Structure formats: C-alpha cells, structure tokens
Chains A and B, each alone.
Chain A
Amino acid sequence: MTLPVTGTAALALALVFGFAFGFLLHRGRVADYNTIVRQFLFQDFTVLKIMMTAIIVGGVGVFLMVQFGYAKFHIKPADLLAVSLGAALFGVGMVLYGYCPGTALAAIGGGSLHALVGAGGMLVGGIVYALTFDWVKATILPVGALGRVQLHTLLGISPWAIFAALAVVALALFVAVERASAKRA
C-alpha cells in the first residue's frame, strides 16, 4: 500500500475517520450543549481537557512523522485580522449555538433537534460568507497577513520545547481542575 491513500479508497476512509471523530466527540460529552456552555462558564473543563490532550498527543506524533518523512504539514495562513475577527465571531456564535461545527454534527447524530436547526444557520452563514468573499478578500484578508507561520520558527526555538511547556501547563491545569472537582464532590 502506498501512502497517502487517494481515490475511491480515500472516500471510504473519509466515512471511517469521520465516524471515529463523531464517535469520540459524542463519547467525550462534547456533543452536549451543557458541556460546551459550562466550559465557557468555568463550571466544567471537559472541552479544555479534550482539546489540550488532543493537541499535545496529536502534535508530538505529527511532528515525529514529519521529521522522519512520513507526513507533511498543512499550515493555514496567519491572516491575523481575518483570524482574529473570525475567531471573535466564532466564540460568540459557538456559545449562542452551544456547539462548534464538528460537535454539532455529532450532536445531530445523537438526536439534538436544536443542533439541527443551528446547522441550518451554519449553512446560511456559509452562503453569506461566499457572497461577501470578494469584499473580505480585498479588505480583510491582506491585513496582518504573515503567511503560513509556525510558533517554533517564529520564536526561533525547538518545537519540542513548546510541547514540553504545553505539557507542563496542561498537567498543572488538569491537576488543579481535578482537585477542585474532587473537593466539590
């Protein structure tokens, strides 16, 4: 088998990998409105626990694979104004909706009718974006466009130093959160 897999086989794998992703999100309780909103109220840290663990575990593996030639990076351009404005809107929308796009799909699979209604909203949002894209491209995307930048090259340090620091921060956070929830119980 030659990697990466392409063609029809890749389409079948899209269903398999998508299924795994949706299954994991649902099992992690993040396909649940309550879990997401309580994270933003600092009452439940499930979202942060999942994301930080996924980023560290995923990142160490992907950097090793890239280093040994088994994978390629896919870095999105750091168009700083667009990313900041987009993320600012996204945070507001995510709390109103109670899901992000991935967890919304898993939630619809679990029977959430309001996630389904919100998915209709997402499609409208996609249409509005396409219709305003020429304006966005001309006025917003070029502002603060730094290109496909990674943190370790920007800071001039080893990526492993960043992962080590992330691991320390994550562990400290996890210990603090678990202690606090044990005290409450």
Chain B
Amino acid sequence: MADVFKIGGRELTSRLFLGTGKFSPNKLIPEVVRSSGAQVVTVALRRVDPGYEEENIASFVPGDCIMMPNTSGARNAGEAVRIARLARAAGYGDWVKIEVVTDNRYLLPDNLETIKATEILAAEGFVVLPYMSPDLAAAKRLVEAGAAAVMPLGAPIGSNRGLRTRELVRIMIEEIPLPVIVDAGIGRPSEASEAMEMGAAAVLVNTAVATAGDPVAMARAFGLAVRAGRMAYLAGPGATRQYASASSPLTGFLID
C-alpha cells in the first residue's frame, strides 16, 4: 500500500518541514530547502517585508513549496488570528502554523490560547497546524477545533535537546487521529529519525539546520534521516529485549 501523507487535502512528498529563522545569510535558504527535499516551509510573518524585496525572507522560499506562515510573536489567540488573516490577505495562502507564546524564557506554547485560535481560523477555512506542548487532552480539543495536524514540541524551541517529550508524544501518536508532527527541539538527524520510527507523521526542524556548520549538508542529512525513520516505521521494527534471546529455550524439546 502506498505511503500517502495528506494535510489539508494536499498530498505531500516530504515528511520534513523546514523553518526559516536564524539563517545567515537568508540567501542560503533556497539551497537548504532543495537539499533537504522539504516541501512545507514555515516563515514568521513578523519577518516578512514585501516592501523590501531583496531582504524579504518570504522571497527566499522556492516557489514550488507550500509556504506556511507562522504566528511567531503572538501572545494570545487574538493576535495569532490577526497575524494569520494578515498573512492570507498578503497572498501567502491558507496554511498557518499557530504559535502562541506567553513565556519568553523557554518559549513554551500556551495550549489554551492555541486551541482558541485554531477554532476561529479553522472555521474561516485555514489549514491550521498548531504548535503545542504535548498534552493529550489539549490535542483532542485541537482535533475538535478543526486542526489539520498537531505539532507537539520535542524540547523547547532552539534547544537542540532532542526528543525529551518522547512518552507524551508517543501517546499522542497512538491516540490522535490526525498527523502528529514533532516541532521544535530536534537537534540531530538521529533524533528526527527516532521521531519518525515512533510513528510521527513528520518533523519540523529549523535551528538544528540554520545554526549547523554547513546548513546545506545538514539539511540533506535531515532529509535522509526522516526518510529512513519513516521506512523503518513502515517496516515494523522487531521487539527490543534486555538480553540476548535463544529461539526456544523452554519449549524446544517439544519439537519432533
């Protein structure tokens, strides 16, 4: 059976989503995107500057990608909703990553405000991908609110600390009938691969690529790791054991 990945009615060819913050210079972005194979690219509307084309971060996203504006900087549902509407009015499509942060030390998302924003924007026809703290009850409410996927964090944004929320994300993957995309905290390709092996539908990576010594090469490594992790998930990994295991130590004598 074909491994089809659909969000908002769009069939996606890549399970790696890329963020565009922290690149230096921005003109690296097209090469990074191509190297990674990513199809969905998120851009903070706060950085989008149509009045200055040479420095407008949105103009560095290849035209064949799905641009997903994000609401970085929003402190409540109202601001997130207004940012999403501004993005759509500016011609950046219907996809939006909801990001509502009320804590500037760890940049942890505010799930309650995120649910409110999702409800409003989904009703307005947006394809809403909410960034959230991994919490099953909140994720269920996001499903009811009309989210197209849920995006729990693996660790705080920009921390590169990996899949620290492993158990909570695993439960969400088991229980939530939408794509679960691990967003934030993934620092290495092996961690992206681990998330995919667990059954995550995709991962969203930014800092790990943007701040790598060679962002283009790191983007390619993430692309490969995500594909490898997905293949492993589909292949069905064998069970893990603490000790080596002989084939039939107790019942072997029954064989004629």
Question: Are A and B physically bound partners?
Answer: no
B→A interface (CB under 8 Å): none
A→B interface (CB under 8 Å): none
